[in-house]
Chain A
Amino acid sequence: MAMLRLEDYEKIIEKCSQCSYCQSTCPSYINELSESFVAKNRLLLIKETLMHERMPYSSKAKEILDNCLLCTNCTQTCCSKIPIDDIIISARIKAGQKGAGGIKQFVMGKMLTQRGLTGVLGKAGSVAQKLGIAAKEIPQLASRPFDKMYSGTYTPEGEVKKRVAYFVGCGTNFIFPDTGEAVVKVLNHNGMEVVIPQGQVCCGIPALGEGDLEGARNMVETNINLLAGLDVDAIVTDCTSCGMMFKEKAAKCLPDDDPLQEKITAVTSKIWEVTDFLQNQGLNMPPGQLDITWSYHVPCHRGWSPTVKDAPRQLLSQIPNAQLKEFDNPEQCCGGAGTFFMEHRDVAEQIRSNRLEEIQNTKSDVVLTQCPVCRFYIGFKVTDREVTHPIKILARAYGF
């Protein structure tokens, strides 16, 4: 059975050889340099507390599990292929952590099941202001969400080469609709017809991260029912976390024998991150020259596609004069991690500070990343240059 039940991981958790290689990529460990906050300790702790109940699930245990950003870096690093992130999600589900209170609860609240962040971020901001915390680091909502501007089918001029559905994540819909515009224009320009179905909701990954399985399942059902019936060649998303949710997590939110599983398989087989899709298909139109240098912050939720982390690099290398300047650690977490930064301000800021230093040292004109949280969270502190989605640079090279 799927369903992210902790007891289903009793055997695989024993595969941890305690090699400690997870220290190399865990952002909360790298920040603290204490083994309390590394996957090895979290797995041992889950075993002792929530799985075998040999130790009480204390406030310290909760703190250590809550300090996991669910960035999945340990899962990607683990040679023993332990699905550490799924185990932590299952532990949170078992611990009954549905929303951790405060601002996050507003963001995570029931409205997510309608259209994700509609109004919620605004509310979170005002609540934060009342509480005197973090208000300035709550993302500002766009004046018009993407789904109020774009909906339906967008047909390119000339021959239609492919027909793709566009799943619009909450980040693009509410905070960065400019990404969505670029996606539609670039796809159209390359001969792709774009279908934007109405009624999409949040992909469910933030709810799942909170251990809210029911909330996540509801969102999966809504989205899958909406997308499964479409006559399209591919389903694209501009957000790596939405992509991960569909590709790796959606099926785990329902029982294996649930009738929806077939539809989930149909949808996940078509899911692509948009730059990954374009790179895979090849550009039909050559981009124009752009005299810029750019750096690429690879989102943590990249493990679901072997090619997603190189797609922007390869795609943008086709823009004449645009020059990639690599960060020293392009794959290290920025600390944003969904809603993590709202509740763990200090930890998130410390993690981010290393990225900011790298950005300052790298001196490129633009910082690119496919994740809207990274874009917001890095962009909040990087004001001397543009932080945006790679698709926007491609759109610009096309003259949009």
Chain B
Amino acid sequence: MQGLVKDLSAFLGPSQILSLPEEMLAYANDATHYFKSRIPDAVVLPHTTEEVSKVMKYAFAKEIPVTPRGAGSGLAGGCTPVHGGIVMDLKRLNKILEIDKSNMTAIVEAGVVLKRFQDILEKRQLFYPPDPQSASVCTIGGNVATRAGGPRGVKYGTTGNYVTGMEVVLPDGSVITPGGKFVKQSVGYDITHLMTGSEGTLGVITAVNLRILPLPEANRTVVVVCETLEQAAEIVAEIIARGAVPAMIEFLIKLAITIMNQYFFPPLPTDGEGYLFMYFDGTEAQVEYEAKLVSDICHDMKAKEVRLIEDQKVAETYWIARANVYPLIQTIFERGNAEDITVPRNKLPDLVRAVQAIAAAEGVMIGLAGHAGDGNMHPSILFPQVTSEAEAKAKIAIDKLIRAGLDLGGTISGEHGIGIHKAEYLSWELGQTQIELMKRIKYAFDPKGIMNPGKIWMEDGDGNA
């Protein structure tokens, strides 16, 4: 793209533009590098909304694709610049503009790293629950753009439940501020929540208004070892049915535990097939009561072992290991493709059985972990070796997994987003009429089609699933 750097230099400093391949390799994809990867023509690193606006005005005039980017830790290829052009790296927009305890709200720029925000809140006895497992690096802007969630979804919902407003730069460079610093609003179309989860296809989110909560005073961690995967899934369904509300219920298989055991002392027994990590928060009396209730349910349902972790530091090791489980998989497999199926929670045992049946029928290894409490599971095809044969088998298995999830009344993505990873399955869930409606919405925002093109739905020539 001739003259691009020179043009961008008119409104950005030299340290804000990258254009050599050596410095842009990391920008060619997110954590799903095996799907698609393309080095962009340039990366821009704006510091202000004004700079973002200038870049958009320029790109709009020249019809250059722009792909907004947070940490690049996504799991759907959402920020992979499949059409080249400009990657808009928003990590330097990293100011926490306001924490307002009297209103329990905050305003943060898009590039603020989630964990940094949460740590600062915690020091003030405040709490922002959404917890994608990449919290140490992922940005709030990326979380909002993908409507990200994590284990706490079961009790606290996901990012979308906390966004009350935002600042957005539209593709032509104009700046809008839908929503605001209020907990409710009934004023026409809800642009704020249309942008939430739009994966950079409608505009660039530069700042966000968030709801925050008081920090719960107490917590408990309970680890449950189950004879079978079905037993673990049935326990989860029973806990939900009995009205208990843990803040997290994580489902793990023996394979994951054997990798994670390096973090635990004493290590967890590996004679179970299914494992549940649960976390309760609230007042001391509340967590005491809930942990007991859930322990009783687990005992009633003949769990092999129920381990109540009293020591906070020890409890933390379980959650750190949980956060690292996906990258840890890479230590023993060449690849692990994580799916993001979410089903009604009483269907979890059915989903677990379906996953096992598909693995057996297709002759593939499927790792199963997920935020079982909210019905969100991440079955992962595990490749001891990546070969074209293994990839072909995996494709058939993934198709069947997705279909099984939908047949159980579920959705193809609970928290990762669609990106390029799941675009081919979009029509399975939404049908053509909804997709066409989405395309018309996209056109209303982005008539030139420059915002993160090639995402969410299939493009002409991609083939159709």
Interface positions of A (Cβ within 8 A of B)? 14-21, 23-24, 33-36, 38, 40-41, 44-45, 48-49, 55, 58, 60-61, 64, 78-81
Contact = CB atoms under 8 A, between A and B. Distances in A.
A80 B330 contact: yes
Contacts of B329: 17
B71 to A, nearest CB: 5
Interface string B310-331: 0000000000000010111111
Contacts of B137: 20-21, 23-24
Contacts of B23: 34, 36, 41, 60, 64
A62 to B, nearest CB: 9
A79 B29 contact: no
Nearest to B329: A17
B26 interface: yes
Given A34-B18, A45-B25, 6 more contacts: A16-B330, A17-B31, A18-B33, A21-B73, A55-B21, A60-B22
B328 A35 contact: no
B94 interface: yes
18 contacts: A15-B330, A17-B330, A19-B31, A19-B134, A20-B30, A21-B134, A21-B136, A21-B324, A34-B43, A35-B72, A40-B26, A48-B25, A64-B23, A79-B326, A79-B328, A79-B330, A80-B328, A81-B331
B22 A64 contact: yes
Contacts of A78: 327
Contacts of A20: 26, 30-31, 71-73, 134, 137
Interface in B71-113: 71-73, 89, 91-92, 94, 111, 113
B43 to A, nearest CB: 8
A36 B31 contact: no
B61 interface: no
Contacts of B92: 33
A48 B326 CA distance: 26
Contacts of B24: 36
A332 to B, nearest CB: 12
Instruction: For the complex of A and B, list the 4 residue pairs with the smallest distance between their C-beta atoms, beginning with the closest.
Output: A79-B327, A36-B23, A41-B26, A24-B136
Contacts, number: 96
Contact of B20 (A15, A48, A60): A60
B134 A33 contact: no
B31 to A, nearest CB: 5
Contacts of B111: 33
Given A34-B18, A34-B23, A36-B23, A18 B94 contact: no
A19 B26 contact: no
Contacts of B331: 15, 79-81
Given A36-B24, A60-B23, A18 B18 contact: no
Given A60-B23, A64-B23, A18 B29 contact: yes
B412 interface: no
Q: How large is the interface on B (under 10, 10 to 19, 20 to 34, 35 or more residues)?
A: 35 or more
B89 A19 contact: no
A18 B31 contact: yes
Nearest to B87: A35
A19 B326 contact: yes
Contacts of A18: 26, 29-31, 33, 72
Nearest to A37: B23
Interface in B16-50: 18, 20-27, 29-31, 33, 43, 45
B45 A33 contact: yes
Nearest to B335: A17
A386 B206 CA distance: 43
Contacts of B33: 18
A18 B36 CA distance: 13
B89 A34 contact: yes
A361 B137 CA distance: 25
Contacts of B94: 33
A317 B225 CA distance: 38
A92 B356 CA distance: 47
A36 B26 contact: yes
A79 B27 contact: no
B7 interface: no
Contacts of A60: 20, 22-23
B391 interface: no
Contacts of B27: 35
A15 B137 CA distance: 19
B407 interface: no
Given A24-B136, A24-B137, A35-B72, A19 B22 contact: no
B18 A41 contact: no
A383 to B, nearest CB: 29
A25 to B, nearest CB: 8
Contact of B25 (A23, A34, A41): A41
Contacts of A81: 331
Contact of A44 (B18, B26, B71, B334): B26
A60 B23 CA distance: 8
Nearest to A44: B25
A38 B137 CA distance: 12
A137 B24 CA distance: 33
A41 B94 CA distance: 21
A20 B30 CA distance: 8
Contacts of A34: 15, 18, 23, 43, 45, 89
A61 B22 CA distance: 6
A60 B21 CA distance: 9
